[in-house]
Amino acid sequence: MSPKKKRPLRKRSRAHTRDAPPTHAPTAAADEGMEPPIGPLSGLRISRTPVAIEPRARWPVAVWVLLVLLWAVGTPLFLLFTLAEGFWAQTQPEVPQSSVTALRGYVAAMVVCGVFAPLVGSGLALWLRRRIAAALFGCALLLSIGFGIWLTLLGPS
């Protein structure tokens, strides 16, 4: 060992010398690496074995990200498709059946993205007992329903 790493010599106290008797008698607990029992609970054995705790599952987060993207991107996108198809149908002298079918599909997709995605997300969050996620999906659901009501009641007559 290099001279820098050597400890300076210190005088040992009497308790640390080899000739001194031990301060407490060794027990079976000391042999096993546990502390000796002290106090009124001296009959109990204390184990220092670490307990493995399983981490929380990460798959719900991936599902929630997909549901949020479906809600945040799908709802305005299908609203845009609905408006575009509706405005195009107004310019035609007779509304073709394909336009009506497309409008039905766009409105159904908008309802699925705007209502059912937050509803499924809040139901999953409640089932997994994640209160914050359930509250956020509940707010998204209320926002979508409120926007839908506003569109139908205050929309063009």
pLDDT computed for residue 78 by the predictor: 94
The mean per-residue pLDDT over the stretch 133-155 comes to 89
Yes or no: say if 94 and 80 are a contact pair by the CB < 8 Å rule. Answer: no
CA–CA gap between residue 62 and residue 74 (Å, rounded): 17
pLDDT computed for residue 53 by the predictor: 83
Contacts of 74 (CB under 8 A, 6+ apart): 109, 110, 112, 113, 114, 117
- pTM metric for this prediction: 0.59
pLDDT tier at 153 (50, 70, 90 boundaries)?
confident
Per-residue pLDDT of 79-95, as tens digits, reads 999 999 999 988 988 98
pLDDT computed for residue 138 by the predictor: 94
Rounded percentage of the chain residues whose pLDDT exceeds 70: 69
pLDDT computed for residue 127 by the predictor: 93
pLDDT tier at 56 (50, 70, 90 boundaries)?
confident
Tell me: pLDDT of 16 over 60.
no
CA–CA gap between residue 30 and residue 61 (Å, rounded): 46
The mean per-residue pLDDT over the stretch 3-18 comes to 61
Please tell me which residue, 34 or 113, carries the higher pLDDT value. 113
Tell me: pLDDT of 139 over 80.
yes
CA–CA gap between residue 81 and residue 106 (Å, rounded): 7
